[in-house]
Amino acid sequence: MEKIDEHKAFGGWQRRYTHKSEVCNCTMTFALYLPPLADTRRVPVVYWLSGLTCTDENFVNKAGAQRVAAELGIAIVAPDTSPRGDDVADEDSYDMGKGAGFYVNATEAPWASHYQMYDYVTSELPALLADEFGTTLDLSREAISGHSMGGHGALVVGLRNVDRFAAISAFSPICAPSEVPWGHKALPKYLGDNRDAWLEYDATAIMGRASNGESLPPILIEQGLDDGFYEEQLHPHRLEEAADQVGAQVEVRRREGYDHSYFFIASFMEDHLRFLAKHLGV
């Protein structure tokens, strides 16, 4: 693992690392914010998953999360959104290929050889963090958040690993990808035509199969009502409907005038970090 960037921020450190990923069969990059408290004790971890076209840097530079993370004493891990490299399959399209990994384990050629983002986020990256930062990070206390495609990823990862994540939050998430154009484009290419495979990465479907919604992590969703993708692509009402059926704790806050941008995310980032920190026991 190689540290490629470092900045002091609010008494802690914002760092960026690259490493060889066996799962994704390429070099991957992630960002890590360590609060000042990490100098003296192990701190809980919040994972942030970014959206279409983003890298690990968008959140770090635009969300304004470091001040609150420093105050609360939580670390933030922000992986890249997809595999990268000259030999990694891609399309000339913002919503498929590099920057658009959708946090799935692809099964179809040419994507399967690199696009294993679900395993990367849930297994390989946490194992690397444990090896490299085991005396700094308390990986028994994890929460997850994300934006848009990354909000979809946060919901799926959190709902498929309820024994690991204390809480889930999301900004403008794709709540039912098997029902919307972004999903109709990406999921068949990554996973094939079997719609049952798509539903393994559909938060609404996963929620609807829960036998006891009270056992699921609490979920906070922020949605701007001036978001141009709201009606066609995001469908938070579908997740709310599934949550009501199984008795899960899901709160969707709909905000007048806000769009899909990082201006929206930065406006409510503090609320989400405090929500996650509360359920992490901070």
The answer to whether the beta carbons of residues 50 and 42 sit under 8 Å apart is no
86 catalytic per annotation: no
**Residue among 227, 235, 272, 279 flagged as catalytic:** 227
The answer to whether the beta carbons of residues 152 and 180 sit under 8 Å apart is no
Give the up-direction half-sphere exposure of residue 225: CA atoms within 13 A in the CB hemisphere: 6
CA distance 66 to 14: 8
272 catalytic per annotation: no
**Residue among 145, 148, 169, 172 flagged as catalytic:** 148
Q: Compute CA distances 10 → 36, 37, 69, 136, 280, whole Å.
A: 8, 11, 9, 18, 21
The answer to whether the beta carbons of residues 131 and 121 sit under 8 Å apart is no
Sorted by sequence, the CB contacts under 8 Å of residue 208 that are 6+ apart come out as 242, 245, 246
Q: Is 212 exposed, middle or buried (CB count within 10 Å of its CB: 0-12, 13-18, 19+)? A: exposed
Q: Is 145 exposed, middle or buried (CB count within 10 Å of its CB: 0-12, 13-18, 19+)? A: buried
Q: Which residue has the tokens 């990082």?
A: 262
Phi, psi of 221 (to 5 degrees): -120, 135
**Residue among 114, 147, 152, 260 flagged as catalytic:** 260
227 catalytic per annotation: yes
Question: Hey, which residues are catalytic here?
Answer: 148, 227, 260
